[in-house]
């Protein structure tokens, strides 16, 4: 069975600085999808960035980028030029390309942005 681990329960970053959130996963599959979701306090969960495992190029979305290390089964999220609005719980998620539509979520990392 696949597992997703986020080893940092909480992180802090100064406004305008860069922060990296860690995510590791365990799977025997060769093809899968990985996601980072953001959930601000009392607000909706939204997609931040996604990565297909067959793509070697790391995904980027404006200030958000990932470092995808397939062999190491690592999928970290880098947030550049952090803003107060980035404060949220961040969840890493895994989804197989086969079988059921089940997503596996990590336990989350709470990011605080300091002014």
Partner 1 sequence: DTEVTQTPKHLVMGMTNKKSLKCEQHMGHRAMYWYKQKAKKPPELMFVYSYEKLSINESVPSRFSPECPNSSLLNLHLHALQPEDSALYLCASSQGASGGGWKETQYFGPGTRLLVL
Residues interacting with partner 1, by CB under 8 A? 33, 35, 37, 43-47, 50-52, 55, 89, 91, 95, 97-98, 100-103, 105-108, 110
Structure-token match 């390309």, residue found = 97
CB nearer partner 1, residue 33 or residue 64: 33
CB nearer partner 1, residue 19 or residue 90: 90
The answer to whether the Cα torsion of 71, 50, 95, 88 is positive or negative is positive
Nearest approach in angstroms of CB 39 to partner 1 is: 8
Nearest approach in angstroms of CB 6 to partner 1 is: 9
Closest CA to 106 of 22, 42, 19, 18: 22
Nearest approach in angstroms of CB 19 to partner 1 is: 19
CB nearer partner 1, residue 15 or residue 31: 31
Nearest approach in angstroms of CB 75 to partner 1 is: 13
Strand partners, 73: none
Q: Rounded to 10 degrees, what is the CA torsion of 2, 57, 59, 90?
A: 30
Please give the angle made by the CA atoms of 41, 46 and 47, to the nearest 5 degrees: 140
CB nearer partner 1, residue 75 or residue 91: 91
């Amino acid at each position: 069975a696949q597992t997703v681990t986020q080893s940092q329960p909480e992180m802090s970053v100064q406004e305008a600085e860069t922060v990296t959130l860690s995510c590791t996963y365990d799977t025997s599959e060769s093809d899968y999808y990985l996601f980072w979701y953001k959930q601000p306090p009392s607000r909706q969960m939204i997609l931040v960035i996604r990565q297909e495992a067959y793509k070697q190029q790391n995904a980027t979305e404006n200030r958000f980028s990932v470092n995808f290390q397939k062999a190491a089964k690592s999928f970290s999220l880098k947030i550049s030029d952090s803003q107060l609005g980035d404060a949220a719980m961040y969840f890493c998620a895994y989804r197989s390309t086969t079988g059921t539509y089940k997503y596996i979520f990590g336990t989350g990392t709470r990011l605080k942005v300091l002014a």
